């Protein structure tokens, strides 16, 4: 553990040194961004702002509506915009296990680009010149906070809000197994520095649109159980997704975790005809990251995802066959 800590610190210091000596950064994260990824890029942007560096923050798609309360969120551009007004020398990639997951932002990555890769996913491909990857951390924003601290940047209420939000989001309201003593200690410090847990929770979890609730109702109506209730699933068809307009499906799968005696649950979202984005969750025994990896996805041992092409029954059969191998 001591060697691992020294290695981690050395990588932090290497990145610190490089950032201080260079300029022209692009900060990005994975497609279908979430609370951890967005707070990570915003917190890193605050470091560059403190150092008076030139940078842009650019992601592939729209920011989830529930995150529009975050400080400096208006500085994030997406694929609908032109992106950087300059050719970045350094591309900082947050919360991505592989470079292809940044989507259209890849057009700014050249052979000359220096990549800083900061992540906490165990399956990270170490695709950067600088790879700061620690699966022992609760979230990517927790790693960025370690970097942030090296400069002794004053912790404003805005920065505290980013850090608390990112950790709260990626630990599933502090109930996932990645919730650690360190992550809770950091969050306590962020409250001391001005983060408002009630306001953050209200924005993250109590602002569902009517369309989202209608879509959730449609998904829950498909609830099925397998293997005497140990496995459960729901799905949302492309028709229901289209019918309900703008919908935020993040968290739909978590409803299944509240069912007593389930061990593995999954949610199939038909994003386009016969193309499913699948979210997995498990409680105690099954490593769903291994299941996702089989389908070229990934994530964490208790929360992961992948994409599968095919008819609903075919996709469901493939998933169930794979899960049963781990029960």
Q: Across the beta sheet with 303-309, what order do the strands follow?
A: 224-226, 231-236, 264-272, 275-282, 303-309, 298-299
pLDDT at 304 over 70: yes
User: What residue segments make up the domains of the chain, in order of their start?
Assistant: 2-205, 210-324
Asked if 218 contacts 236 with a C-beta cutoff of 8 angstroms, the reply is: yes
Do domains 2-205 and 210-324 share one topology? The answer is: no
Residue 3 has pLDDT above 80, yes or no: no
* 186: DSSP letter: H
User: Residue 275: phi, psi to the nearest 5?
Assistant: -135, 115
Could you tell me the CA-to-CA distances from 51 to 19, 26, 152 in Å, in that order? 9, 15, 12
Element (H, E) at 279: strand 275-282
Q: Which of 299, 307, 308, 295 is nearest to 281 (CA)?
A: 299
- d(CA 56, CA 58) in angstroms, rounded, equals 6
Q: Are 43 and 163 in contact (CB under 8 A)?
A: yes
Among 62-66, 180-184, 242-246, 257-261, the least confident range: 242-246
* Model confidence at 4: pLDDT above 70: no
Q: Domain 2-205 has what CATH class? A: alpha beta
Distance CA 257, CA 265 (A): 7
How many of the other CB atoms lie within 10 Å of CB of 57?
24
> Are 161 and 196 spatial neighbours (Cβ–Cβ below 8 Å)?
yes
Max distance between CA atoms of the chain, in angstroms, equals 60
Specify the pLDDT at position 82: 73
| Whether the Cβ atoms of residue 163 and residue 37 lie closer than 8 Å to each other | no
Q: Lowest mean pLDDT of 51-55, 206-210, 321-325, name the range.
A: 206-210
Say how far apart CA 171 and CA 204 lie, in whole Å: 13
Neighbours of 218 (CB within 10 A): 19
- Chain-wide mean pLDDT for the chain? 94
> What's residue 327's pLDDT?
87
105, 82 Cβ separation under 8 angstroms: no
Three-state DSSP state, 295? coil
Q: Does domain 210-324 have CATH number 3.30.70.20?
A: no
d(C-alpha 245, C-alpha 223), whole Å: 22
Dist. CA 191–CA 157, nearest whole Å? 9
| Residue 166 CA: distances (Å) to CA of 117, 151, 222, 304 | 18, 20, 31, 17
Q: What is the pLDDT of residues 94-146, one digit of tens each?
A: 999 999 999 999 999 999 999 999 999 988 999 999 999 999 999 999 999 99
3-state secondary structure of 270: strand
Between 233 and 285, name the one with better pLDDT: 233
What whole-number distance in Å separates Cα of residue 179 and Cα of residue 159?
Answer: 20
The yes-or-no verdict on residue 232 having pLDDT over 50 is yes
pLDDT of residue 70: 98
The answer to whether residues 163 and 186 touch, using CB atoms and an 8 Å cutoff, is yes
Residue 67 DSSP symbol: G
CB atoms within 10 A of CB 185: 10
For residue range 254-294, list pLDDT tens digits in order: 999 999 999 999 999 999 999 999 999 999 889 999 999 99
Asked if pLDDT for residue 2 goes beyond 50, the answer is no
Angle, CA 209 vertex, CA 65 and CA 253 arms, to 5°? 85
Distance CA 91, CA 84 (A): 11
């Amino acid at each position: 553990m001591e060697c691992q800590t020294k290695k981690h610190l050395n990588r932090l210091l290497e990145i610190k040194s490089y950032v201080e000596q260079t300029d022209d950064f692009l900060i990005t994260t994975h497609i279908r961004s979430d609370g951890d990824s967005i707070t990570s890029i915003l917190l890193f942007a605050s470091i560059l702002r403190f150092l008076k560096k030139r940078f842009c923050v650019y992601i592939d798609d729209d920011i989830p509506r529930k995150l529009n309360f975050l400080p400096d969120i208006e500085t994030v551009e997406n694929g609908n915009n032109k992106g950087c007004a300059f050719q970045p020398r350094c591309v900082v990639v947050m919360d991505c296990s592989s470079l292809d997951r940044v989507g259209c932002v890849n057009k700014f990555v050249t052979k000359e680009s220096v990549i800083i890769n900061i992540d906490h996913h165990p399956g990270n491909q170490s695709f950067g010149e600088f790879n700061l990857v620690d699966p022992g951390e609760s979230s990517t924003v927790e790693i960025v906070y370690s970097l942030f601290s090296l400069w002794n940047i004053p912790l404003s209420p805005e920065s505290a809000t980013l850090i608390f939000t990112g950790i709260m989001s990626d630990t599933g309201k502090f109930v996932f197994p990645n919730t650690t003593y360190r992550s809770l200690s950091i969050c306590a410090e962020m409250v001391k520095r001005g983060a408002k847990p009630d306001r953050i929770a209200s924005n993250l979890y109590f602002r569902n649109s009517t369309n989202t609730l209608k879509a959730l109702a449609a998904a829950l109506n498909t609830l099925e159980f397998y293997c005497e209730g140990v496995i459960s699933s729901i799905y949302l068809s492309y028709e229901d997704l289209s019918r309900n307009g703008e919908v935020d499906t993040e968290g739909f799968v978590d409803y299944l975790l509240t069912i007593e005696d389930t061990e593995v649950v999954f949610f199939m979202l038909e994003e386009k005809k016969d193309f499913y984005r699948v979210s997995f969750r498990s409680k105690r025994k099954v490593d769903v990251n291994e299941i996702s990896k089989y389908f070229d996805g990934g994530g964490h041992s208790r929360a992961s995802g992948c994409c599968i092409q095919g008819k609903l029954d075919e996709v469901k059969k493939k998933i169930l066959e794979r899960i049963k191998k781990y029960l």
